[in-house]
Amino acid sequence: MRTVDRIRAARRRDERGFGLVELLIAMSMLMIGILALFAMFQTGILQIRRASTVSTASALAEAEIENYRAIRYDSIGLATADITPIPSTDPYKTDSAYIPASLVTLPKCPAAPPCTSSLPTQPIPAADGRSYRVDTFMSWQAVANGRDVKLITIVVRDSANASKVWARVVSSFDQSTGL
């Protein structure tokens, strides 16, 4: 029996501290889980903030297009004098919507200049407290029946980083409808 007691005593000695090691492992695993959960919440907050910015920018772009829908077709145009001074390296002139050979400028408008109060690029404050850069592009586009329509592209950019585009809306305006 003495041998059995020695074996039991040896086992008890080997198990001392085993609870502490288990506790450290469990705490480490719990910490990894908490950090992963924190990272998930942080990513979620960033995505919500980005979605809010995109929604606001889209609303601004749609409002600008609606402003053009509210005026006569003959009054839609941009002043050449407003487009010319924009540097060639500016995102306005490097955008795919900028087509110099096809610009709709004020000489095409029969009304006295300026036909519209639109500028090619302007800062607009939004309801979210941020300011956005709104770029307006106007070009001629040929349609199937041979008429040209005015194609208006509104690009809403980040005011701090003009190369970051938040929203882009394109609409065509046909002379036959007068709108």
pLDDT in tens, 23-43: 899 999 999 999 999 999 999
DSSP string, 4-21: HHHHHHHHHHHHTTHHHH
**pLDDT value, residue 157:** 94
Q: Average pLDDT for consecutive 10-residue bins of the chain (179 residues)?
A: 68 64 91 95 95 94 90 79 85 84 58 63 88 90 76 92 92 73
Give the strand order in the sheet containing 148-158. Answer: 121-125, 131-142, 148-158, 165-173
**pLDDT value, residue 65:** 92
List own/partner pairs for 96-102 with CB under 8 A and 24 or more apart: 97/137, 97/139, 97/153, 97/155, 97/168, 97/170, 98/137, 99/137, 99/139, 102/139, 102/140, 102/141
Please count the structural domains in the chain: 1
- Residue ranges making up the domain that contains 78: 2-177
List own/partner pairs for 141-149 with CB under 8 A and 24 or more apart: 141/102, 141/172, 143/174, 147/174, 147/175, 147/176, 148/175, 149/173, 149/174, 149/175
**pLDDT value, residue 36:** 95
**pLDDT value, residue 147:** 75
**DSSP state at residue 73:** G
**pLDDT value, residue 112:** 53
**pLDDT value, residue 107:** 45
∠17-20-22 over CA atoms, to 5°? 110
